[in-house]
Amino acid sequence: MHIGRGTIRQIRLDALGQTQAWIECESRLIPAPGQYLLGRSLADTDTPLATCLFPAELPGSGFWAAAPLPPTWLPRTELELRGVLGRGFSSFSGARRIALASLSPDPARLLPLIYEASHLGAAVTLFAEPPLPALPTWLEIYPLTSLPELIHWPDYLALDLPFESLVQLRALLGLRPDQILPCPTQALIWTPMPCGGLAECGACAVPAHRGWKRAFSLACSDGPVFDLNTIDF
């Protein structure tokens, strides 16, 4: 983990009208897909908590940070950055058919995977609801409601999963109570992570399996990307 500085060079609005920011920083502070940083404006000393920053694009000398971001963050805002934190997406290198499914209104945290998968020569399909950002013309896009009927198509499935949607996940995927997923699946469980793994405060606890026992994992350090077969859902 590193502590460094970054500078907001540009801001833009995503398809939902939320602000994203291009953050210029050292390469060691650029998160991989699914990982995150904690960022704080050096000018805003009154804000008690840092902001979790996930990459929406990874084009070079920095990254586009996905929404939500503080409204006071503007071009030339100087940031203190801590990271890189958490476990990212990792297990699709041998897959030929990759599905990405956003159960969040904004699929931005999944978008860096599109380009990684395409460089591997894999076919990629995004399941998400509009409005959507500008996306490559070669990308297949289906509504999220189509996922249950196509669940056997991918070799690998990546989810952006708000914590509150965990209890509905089986229904959203069209799975019976005792049915397992037909392919390796990883989920970025989106939940507040105020301590960023420093204090193990438990605010981001996720129900998990440990052998035959039910336990809890922390999204800030054990995740936020989990192999779905380790999660109790």
The per-residue pLDDT for 210 is 59
- For residue 212, pLDDT over 50 is answered with no
For the chain, list the domains and their CATH numbers: 2-85 (2.40.30.10), 97-230 (3.40.50)
Taking the CB of residue 25, how many other CB atoms lie within 10 A of it?
A: 21
- Mean pLDDT for 109-126 is 90
Q: Give the span between the Cα atoms of 178 and 158, in whole angstroms.
A: 21
Is the pLDDT reported for residue 105 higher than 60? yes
- pLDDT more than 90, % of the chain: 64
pLDDT at 162: 94
- Strand 225-227 relative to strand 185-190, pairing: antiparallel
Q: What is the mean pLDDT of residues 147-152?
A: 93
pLDDT at 35: 96
**Residue 16 pLDDT > 90:** yes
- pLDDT per position as a tens digit, 152-197: 999 999 999 999 999 899 998 888 888 888 899 999 999 988 777 7
Name, of 18-22, 182-186, 227-231, the range with top average pLDDT: 18-22
Mean pLDDT of 189-210: 80
Find the distance separating the first CA and the last CA of the chain, reported in whole Å.
Answer: 31
Burial of 226: CB neighbours in 10 Å, binned 0-12, 13-18, 19+: buried
More confident residue, 11 or 230: 11
pLDDT of residue 92: 78
Q: Which long-range contacts (CB under 8 A, 24 or more apart) does 201-204 make?
A: 204/163
SS3 content of the chain, % helix, strand, coil (to 5): 15, 40, 45
Beta bridge partners of 160: 102, 188
The model's confidence at residue 199, banded by pLDDT at 50, 70 and 90, is low
